[in-house]
Amino acid sequence: MTTMELIRHRRSVRTFDGTPLRAEDAEAILAFAQKAENPWGLPIEWRLLSARASGLTSPVISGTDAWIAGKMKAAEHAEEAFGFEFESIVLYAESLGLGTTWIAGTMDRAAFEKAMDLRDGEVMPCVSPLGYPAGKMALKETLMRKGVKADSRLPFGQLFFDGGFDRPLTEEKAGPAAELLEMIRWAPSAVNKQPWRVVLLDGTAHFYEKKSKGFAGKDGWDLQKIDLGIAMNHLAAGLAERGADACFTCADPGLPAPPDTEYMASCPIGRTDA
C-alpha cells in the first residue's frame, strides 16, 4: 500500500482474534521501533510486553497478549516526539497486517509502568496492543467508535488555512499540497478531537494546537501534543513518498491566532498552488 492507503485503511483495533503474535512479526516490529526516529532527536526506548507475564490489563482490549510501549525522559517537545515516532511504528504494524490502538488512560497504568521499569524523570505516554484483528468487532468497540465518530474527520477548511486563520483553505487552492494535507486530516487523535490546525504561508506548513479542556495535566504534560506529533508524522511520510525530506523547525510566523490556539512547529512543503 501507499502511505495514504495505509493511513486510510488503518483503524483502531480493540478486538483481536486470539492468535499469538508470530515471532517474525514481533522481531520485525521491535527491529523497526529500535531504528525509529523523531524530528527533535529525543531518545525513546520501545519494548514488547506480555500481558500474562506482566499482569497487564485494559478493559477495552480483548483477544491479544502482546503490547508495545515506549518510555522517554520528560523534556521539551517530548509529547510531539513520542507521537511522531509511535505513529511510524503503528503504520509499520499496519503494513504487516497487525492491529493497534493508542491507549493513554484505559489501562492499569501502574502495571504497565512497572513492566517498563519506569524511572524518576521518565514518562510512558501511551501503549498499544499488537495482534491480529478479529473478524467482527465486539459490541463495546462498535459503541466506542460510534461515540467518537471515529470514521469521520472535520472538513478540510476547518483544519487548513491560506496565509492566516481568517482564510479557510480549499483543496483546489491547495493544489499539489492537498494530498499531503489530506494525510494530516486523517491522523488519529484522542477521542477524535483533531486538535491540529495548519496555516500554509509561502510554501511552509505552520502547525498549531487547538486546545481542548481536559488534556493538559497540572505538570504541564499535554496529551494533545502527542496528536500533533502524529499529524506531523503523516506530513513527513507524505513528503518522503514524494522523495523529499521533512524539516521541522520552530519558526513562529507571528500570525494572529484564535483563542486557545498555540503555535507548534513549521515544515516547508514547497509550492501549494496548482
pLDDT in tens, 169-220: 999 999 999 999 999 999 999 999 999 999 999 999 999 999 998 887 767 7
In-domain check, residue 273: no
pLDDT at residue 274, as a whole number: 42
Range 94-113 average pLDDT? 96
Domain count, the chain: 2
CA distance 30 to 211: 33
For residues 126 and 53, state if they share a domain: yes
- Boundaries of domain holding 249: 156-268
CA distance 233 to 258: 24
pTM above 0.85, yes or no: yes
In-domain check, residue 145: no
Q: How many CB atoms lie within 10 A of CB 21?
A: 21
For residues 192 and 226, state if they share a domain: yes
- Name beta bridge partners: 48: 68
pLDDT averaged over every residue in the chain: 93
pLDDT at residue 215, as a whole number: 80
For residues 205 and 90, state if they share a domain: no
pLDDT at residue 117, as a whole number: 98
For residues 118 and 183, state if they share a domain: no
Q: What is the CATH number of the domain that holds 200?
A: 3.40.109.30
Q: Is the pLDDT of residue 107 over 60?
A: yes
| Tens digits of residue pLDDT in 46-85 | 999 999 999 999 999 999 999 999 999 999 999 999 999 9
For residues 172 and 127, state if they share a domain: no
CA distance 207 to 165: 12
Extract the C-alpha cell encoding 68.
508495545
For residues 9 and 120, state if they share a domain: yes
149 pLDDT band, cuts 50/70/90, is low
In-domain check, residue 149: no
How would you classify residue 251: left for phi > 0, otherwise alpha for psi between -120 and 50, otherwise beta? beta
CA end-to-end span of the chain: 26
For residues 103 and 14, state if they share a domain: yes
